Structure 1
Amino acid sequence: MTLVETLPVDRTTAQWEVWTTLARVVVTDPSRLAEARRIVTETTDAVDLACSRFRPDSELSRLAGHHGRARTVSLLLAELVRAALTAARLSDGAVTPTLGTALDQLGYDRDWSRMGAPGRPVRLMVGRAPSWRDVVLDGDDRLTLPAGVVLDLGSTAKAWTADAAARRVADELGVGVLVGLGGDLATAGPGPVGGWRVLVRDQPDDPSTAVTLPAGAAIATSSTRSRRWRSGGRELHHIVDPQTCLPVEPAWRSVTVAAPDCVTANTLTTAALVLGSDAVARLRRSGMPARLVTPSREVLTLNDWPTEVAS
């Protein structure tokens, strides 16, 4: 599991498992912790019901069979699709929501908690993924999916949820808050004195560093080492190249980016894994602080990566 953890766990912090990853909420006022956890849970539940690829009762799953026709969708699903299309545009298609069929055929066709159970044989979908430009969102809530396109919003939905939950906690409770969902972490409201201290690490044997984030900042880590499975004698992972519909060849073990919001941070980290060695130039141009870990665990930092406070 990709880890971006606050330090340490205390009475201001709650953590639990959601989406087979670690959810964490930290507040500046311990008396509001239970309410903050409730808000985060409500947000994750609503997003899951809107866009889970693995729930037959999700709104996204119920769109099946309506390809080519505009459908009215909930404002929540529309926001999640809009975030995914924005990520595709900003990454020139390196991050795209149109990989649902490719992931299904690679064997990632059920919730991660059930990936150890026998599944369908892997069928490699070699070739380019459908274009994200053919997914049309008109107005606030009219969505058109072309024939053959199965959306997977996993590359942005978790980050969007972290952003949305943090904003809601800060707005409703009037506290500073940090919300972490696996490798996606967002903050909102007034921060603690000295900023938010965050430990950045992917796998337990990877190099780690602790950094300080200012209030309102976000950070995301994407990895080619987490969410790996074996099928048909092949080791596979969930970062897929839209140009080939195959898992990317790992040029980086993990990439971490700090940004004003978690969706932007996650878009840049996921795109970096897809782009491989070309990611360095792209990240430099973005101006966002970044940390890349090579397959041999060497660390490269860019754009004034946040001040190190521990290692």
Structure 2
Amino acid sequence: MKFLFPVLIGLVLISACQSNENKLITIEGEAQGTTWHISYISKDGINFKQAIDSILKDIDLSLSTYVPVSIISRINNNEPDIRVDPYFIDVFNKSMEVSQRTGGLFDVTVGPLINAWGFGFSKKANIDSTRIDSILQYVDYKMLKLDGNILIKEKKDVKLDFNAIAQGYSVDVLALYLEKRGIKNYLVELGGELIAKGKKNTENWKAGIDHPIQNTSSERKLEAIIELDNRALCTSGNYRKFYEENGKRYAHILDPRTGFPARQNILSASVLADDAMTADAYATAFMVMGLERSKQFLEENKDLNLEVFFIYDENNTWKTFTSESLKNKLKQVN
């Protein structure tokens, strides 16, 4: 068995001209098992890296299952009298909202499945239908309820995993911090999830979307460049995080209904939304839905103000689908 876990980025920032009147500040670091990059226009040149690092550590202490003393880890371990914090409440409420909208195709109780398949912090278990059925009895977002700052689990073996939404949320938190410090023109990126506000000089910020090359190399190729206009952009894909066993490839995005990796025709789902937390969650949900159901969902949920760029497989040929409103802001490279 061979595990292949390259970092899923999916996006690369595209440069624009720098203003002579204001300073372009660029800071970067590591957090949540990946990297982050922030660019912003500042008149006084203040560097916010120390504050950003501190915020990201606080978020991990709330939402990371990889931190044993985090709030989510302590809840998963059924420790008594755990009070959740505002970070947890924000992510939980959005998760429940997306779960309800998608009929459970997005579900933060998939934690035990993720670990069983070897995509979490546990080694892969021996998987068969009996094993999956034994886990599925604890996979259902409806078994969770937030009462004030106390999370109630219907079954003690229900375990949460916010990995499909936490990075997007972290981007939103960092963006809000910059805005509170008077920064109006910025781009925040963490692990490929990003949000942009204002402009870089006189141009909108831009980002590139990777071509979903399904191999084990570090080769990257751009599929498209998107012009961001005060929007968040998040990408989910099965092509850079998977493992192979007995000649079969198993991807990390799981279908909460079956307990098995989602086997749909979308290879990469890029979603634009007003905030990165929303974009992040729906990017994962669309990977589970597949192309036709995703298109139907977008038509029936126009109030969400989502725009998408899908790369999908049709009869072993890669094709793309772009929201009509996004076409004048997107340029395909190939």
Q: Same fold (TM over 0.5)?
A: yes
Percent of aligned pairs sharing the same letter: 18
- Confirm or deny: 8 A CA contact 1:107 1:231 kept in the other structure: no
- Partner Cα separation in structure 2 for residue 31 and residue 5 of structure 1: 27
- Confirm or deny: 8 A CA contact 1:2 1:222 kept in the other structure: no
Listed one character per residue, the Cα deviations across residues 194-214 of structure 1 (whole Å, up to 9, x for unaligned) are 221121225455552112111
Q: Supply the RMSD in Å over aligned alpha carbons.
A: 2.6
Opposite residue 243 of structure 1, the aligned amino acid is: R
Q: From the CA coordinates, give the structure whose radius of gyration is larger.
A: 2
Gaps of 5+ in 1: none
Opposite residue 98 of structure 1, the aligned amino acid is: T
**Structure 1 residue ranges (4+ consecutive) displaced by more than 6 angstroms after TM superposition:** none
Q: Structure 1 residue 183: deviation in Å? A: 2.9
2:102 counterpart of 1:102? no
- Partner Cα separation in structure 1 for residue 247 and residue 160 of structure 2: 27
Alignment of 1:137-286 (within 5 A): 137-139=146-148, 141-147=149-155, 148-188=157-197, 190-192=198-200, 193-203=202-212, 204=219, 208-215=223-230, 217-230=231-244, 234-277=248-291, 278-286=293-301
- Confirm or deny: 8 A CA contact 2:9 2:191 kept in the other structure: yes
Gaps of 5+ in 2: 1-7, 19-23, 213-218
Distance 1:202 1:222, change over 3 A: farther
Listed one character per residue, the Cα deviations across residues 78-123 of structure 1 (whole Å, up to 9, x for unaligned) are 222222222212222111110011111111232xxxx9xxx35343
Q: Structure 1 residue 221: deviation in Å? A: 0.7
2:44 counterpart of 1:27? no
- Confirm or deny: 8 A CA contact 1:121 1:232 kept in the other structure: no
Q: Structure 1 residue 8: deviation in Å? A: 2.6
Opposite residue 325 of structure 2, the aligned amino acid is: D
1:3 pairs with one of 10, 28, 35: 10
In the other structure, the counterpart of 2:5 is none
Distance 1:183 1:286, change over 3 A: farther
Opposite residue 181 of structure 1, the aligned amino acid is: L
In the other structure, the counterpart of 2:57 is 45
Specify the SS of the correspondent of 2:326.
coil
Q: Structure 1 residue 310: deviation in Å? A: 6.7
